[in-house]
Every structure is written in structure tokens, then in C-alpha cells.
Amino acid sequence: MSETTKILPDLIEATREGVGFYEAAAQKVQDKELVKLFRQMAQAKAVLVHELESEVPRRAGRRSTMEWLDEIRNSYRAAGKELGKVDLEFVSQLEQAESCLLEQVHAVRFDRGNSFLIRVLAMQYEGKAGDLHGQLKSRKKRLMTA
């Protein structure tokens, strides 16, 4: 079993948490551009979760010790406290979480220890989420220069 095969349950968990976060954020944020972006992010994550869950066995009762998973969770929690205001810190926390998640998806994609189907699912998500992450980065840059 490869290293990234071992993290797949954590990747599913982090992605599922992202679905919940972005669905809630899309309902609470007043910025129309971010509402649209958050809905797209939630949808892309929901598709990945659904497809990976059919390929990866659930891990019962085992607590993850992956630092990247804690980093993503902490970013979502911190950003969740700031849903009312769209500022540089809010967008930076989300951009950091998405960078971390994409890094893990990228590793899964190129690990030949994973099944072909899992690598294809990672590649498809990476393409869609990469575009959305780019939009988030652009928003961050605009906030930095404002």
C-alpha cells in the first residue's frame, strides 16, 4: 500500500468538510462573486467525495494524525468565524486550505500505487479545483492591493 493510498480516507474526510463549509459560506457571504465561487467549490468537492467513497473503504474509528488534515480543518474553522466579512485574512485562510488539499490530490494523482480510477478521479478534481483555486488566488491578490 502506497503512502497516498493510506491518506485517501483523510482526503475524503477533508473534502467532505470542505463541502459543508462552502455550502454554508455560499449562504452567508454577501459577495455575489464569492457566492458563485463557493457553490462551485462545494459542487466539485461533493463530486470527488461521492466518487472516491465508492472506491475507498471507510476507516472505522481510527483518528487521523495527518498534519495537513488538521491544517485544513483549522483553516475552515477560522474562516467560518469570519463569514460575515470578506477580507484578506478570510480569503487567505481559504486559499491556504485549498492549496493544502490540492497538494494532497496532486500526490494521489501521480502515485502509481493507487488504482487507475483513483488517479483519474484525482486528475479530474485537480483540473476543476485548480481553476477555482486560481479564482480564489486572484481575489486574494485584489484584496492585497486594495
In tens digits, the chain (146 residues) has pLDDT values of 677 888 899 999 999 999 999 999 999 998 999 999 999 999 999 999 999 998 887 665 555 667 898 999 989 988 888 777 788 989 999 999 999 999 999 999 999 999 999 999 999 999 999 999 999 999 999 989 97
Contacts 24+ apart (CB under 8 A), 61-69: 64/9, 64/10, 64/13, 66/7, 66/10, 68/14, 68/100, 68/103, 68/104, 69/10, 69/13, 69/14
How many Å apart are CA 40 and CA 51, to the nearest integer?
17
DSSP output for 27-74:
HH---HHHHHHHHHHHHHHHHHHHHHHTTS----SPPP--HHHHHHHH
Question: Could you count the other beta carbons within 10 Å of the beta carbon of residue 5?
Answer: 15
Query: What was the pLDDT predicted at 5?
Result: 83
DSSP letter at 99? Answer: H
pLDDT of residue 82: 78
Domains of the chain: 3-57+66-145 (1.20.1260.10)
User: Residue 80 has what pLDDT?
Assistant: 86
